[in-house]
C-alpha cells in the first residue's frame, strides 16, 4: 500500500496553526506513507519549509496540485469552497470541521465523495484521548486566558510582602471547569492568585479543589439541575432551562462582583453558550476588573462581550478573543498534529486507507462517507 498525506496552508483569516509539524511528520513517514505540505504552510507557526524537508516531507507550492494528489488531508480549519472542490473522490479529510455550523460544506464534501472526519465529534473514551483536539486546544486556551487577564489588570496576582507594605493577591474566578477552565485555574494558581472555580457539573468540585482553588458553592441544590443530572453520558454539560439559568446568574453575581479577573469557559456542545454574566452583573463589578470570555465563538458567556474584540464597559475590560489556541500556534500545531495522526494512523492498512464505520471512534466522527451525509442522520 501507499498513502499520501497532504497538508495545505491554512487560508482562514487569522489562522496561524498548521495541521502537522515536522516532528509529527517524522513519526508518520514510512516506506508506505509519504507526506507533502504546501509551501509556507508552517511558517506562521514557527515551522519553515526547510524543517519539513529535513525530515523527508515534500514541499509543493501549488495548493491545487497538492490537494489533488492526496489520499488523506490534514487541516486545522474547515476547507473553503475551493479547497473542498479540489479534493478527489475517496479522500479522507480530517480537521476541526465545526459540523454544527457547516451544513452546506458538509453537503458539498458528501457530493464530492470525500470522507470527512470532524475532530469535534471524537468521542470522549479512553482510547481516543490522544485524538481529542478539543481538549488539546482548550488546554492552551485556558492558559492563555489567564495571561490576557493578568496583562489587563492593574494589580499583580500574588500576595507580595515588601518593605513598603503588603499587597493582597488578586481574586480570580473561573466559570466552567472543563478542560480550559481547569487549566485556567492551574495557571492562575501558579501565578499566586486567590483562585475560585465554578461549574454546573457538581462532579468537578474535587478537581477544582485538587488544584488548590476554592469551589464556588451556590448553596447546593439551589440551582435546579446543578447536581448529577447536569451531565450527559459523554461528560458534557446539559443546557439549563431559562428559569434555572436566571437563578444561577443571580447566585453567581456576588462572586463575580468580588473578583478582579473572571475567566468564563462555559459551553454546551452544539448550543449557544450560556450567559452567566449579564449587564447588571458587570455594573456591580469593581472598576479596573477584567473579564476574559473564552466562549466568544459560541456567542459568549457575558452579555456585553463582543466576540473577537475587547471592550471597556463601566470600567470593566471585557475580552472575548476568538481562536485563542491560534495565538499559541507552535504548541497548538504540535498537539493538533498529534491528535490528527493518532486518529488517522490506525486507518492505514494493506490496501491503503480503510474507513471502518463500525469503529467506535471513526463511526461517531465521520460526517460524510461514500456520497452520504452521516452527521445528524
Ligand atoms: P466544554 O468545553 O463543553 O464546556 C466547558 C465547561 O463548561 C464544562 O465543564 C461544562 O460543565 C461547563 N458549563 C456548561 N454550562 C455551564 C453553566 N451554565 N454554568 C457553569 N458551567 C457550565 O467541556 P470540556 O472542557 O470539553 O469538558 C467536558 C468534560 O469532559 C470534562 O469533565 C472533561 O474533563 C471531560 N473530558 C473527558 C475526556 C475523556 O475522557 N477522554 C476528554 C476530554 C474531556
Give residue 233's pLDDT: 67
Ligand 1 center to 269 CA (angstroms)? 9
Ranges under pLDDT 70 in the chain? 219-231, 233-235, 377
Give residue 269's pLDDT: 83
* Contact criterion met (CB below 8 Å) for 331 and 95: no
Ligand 1 center to 200 CA (angstroms)? 9
pTM: 0.92
Q: Is 89 helix (H, G, I), strand (E, B) or coil?
A: coil
Give residue 88's pLDDT: 96
234 Cα nearest atom in ligand 1: 30
Give residue 222's pLDDT: 46
Give residue 219's pLDDT: 65
Give residue 226's pLDDT: 46
Give residue 227's pLDDT: 47
Q: Which of 236, 299, 301 best tests ligand 1's pocket when mutated (most atoms within 8 Å of CB)?
A: 236
Give residue 223's pLDDT: 45
- Angstrom distances, CA of residue 369 to CA of 76, 276, 285, 354: 20, 39, 51, 12
Cell numbers 479543589 correspond to 209
Ligand 1 center to 106 CA (angstroms)? 26
* Contact criterion met (CB below 8 Å) for 188 and 172: yes
Q: Find the residues whose C-beta lies inside 6 A of ligand 1.
A: 124, 129, 132, 134-135, 138, 175-181, 199-201, 235-237, 240, 265-269, 274, 276
Is 135 part of the annotated catalytic residue set? yes
Cell of 99: 459540523
Q: Nearest 5°: CA angle at 226, between 222 and 230?
A: 155
Give residue 202's pLDDT: 85
Residue nearest to atom 38 of ligand 1 (CA): 124
Amino acid at each position: 500500500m501507499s498513502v499520501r498525506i497532504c497538508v495545505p496552508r491554512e487560508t482562514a483569516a487569522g489562522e496561524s496553526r498548521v495541521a502537522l509539524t515536522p516532528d509529527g511528520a517524522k513519526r508518520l513517514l514510512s516506506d508506505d506513507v509519504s507526506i507533502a505540505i504546501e509551501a509556507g504552510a508552517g511558517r506562521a507557526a514557527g515551522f519553515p519549509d526547510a524543517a519539513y524537508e529535513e525530515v523527508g516531507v515534500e514541499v509543493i507550492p501549488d495548493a491545487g496540485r497538492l490537494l489533488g494528489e492526496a489520499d488523506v488531508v490534514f487541516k486545522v480549519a474547515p476547507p473553503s469552497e475551493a479547497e473542498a472542490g479540489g479534493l478527489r473522490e475517496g479522500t479522507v479529510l480530517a480537521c476541526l470541521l465545526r459540523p454544527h455550523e457547516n451544513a452546506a460544506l458538509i453537503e458539498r464534501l458528501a457530493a464530492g465523495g470525500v470522507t470527512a472526519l470532524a475532530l469535534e465529534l471524537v468521542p470522549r473514551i479512553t482510547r481516543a484521548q490522544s485524538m481529542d483536539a478539543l481538549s488539546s486546544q482548550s488546554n492552551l486556551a485556558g492558559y492563555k486566558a489567564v495571561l490576557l487577564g493578568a496583562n489587563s489588570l492593574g494589580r499583580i496576582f500574588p500576595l507580595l510582602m515588601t518593605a513598603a507594605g503588603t499587597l493582597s493577591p488578586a481574586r480570580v474566578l473561573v466559570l466552567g471547569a472543563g478542560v480550559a477552565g481547569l487549566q485556567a485555574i492551574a495557571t492562575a494558581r501558579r501565578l499566586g492568585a486567590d483562585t475560585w472555580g465554578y461549574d454546573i457539573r457538581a462532579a468537578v468540585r474535587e478537581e477544582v479543589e485538587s488544584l488548590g482553588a476554592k469551589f464556588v458553592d451556590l448553596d447546593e441544590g439551589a440551582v435546579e439541575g446543578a447536581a448529577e443530572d447536569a451531565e450527559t453520558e459523554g461528560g458534557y454539560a446539559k443546557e439549563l432551562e431559562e428559569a434555572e439559568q436566571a437563578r444561577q446568574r443571580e447566585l453567581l453575581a456576588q462572586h463575580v462582583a468580588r473578583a478582579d479577573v473572571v475567566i468564563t469557559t462555559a459551553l454546551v456542545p452544539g448550543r449557544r453558550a450560556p450567559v452567566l454574566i449579564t449587564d447588571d452583573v458587570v455594573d456591580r463589578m469593581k472598576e479596573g476588573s477584567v473579564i476574559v470570555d473564552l466562549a466568544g465563538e459560541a456567542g459568549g458567556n457575558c452579555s456585553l462581550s463582543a466576540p473577537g474584540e475587547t471592550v471597556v464597559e463601566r470600567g470593566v475590560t471585557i475580552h472575548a478573543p476568538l481562536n485563542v489556541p491560534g495565538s499559541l500556534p507552535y504548541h497548538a500545531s504540535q498537539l493538533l498534529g498529534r491528535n490528527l495522526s493518532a486518529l488517522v494512523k490506525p486507518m492505514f492498512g494493506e490496501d491503503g486507507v480503510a474507513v471502518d464505520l463500525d469503529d467506535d471512534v471513526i463511526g461517531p466522527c465521520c460526517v460524510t462517507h461514500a456520497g452520504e451525509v452521516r452527521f445528524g442522520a
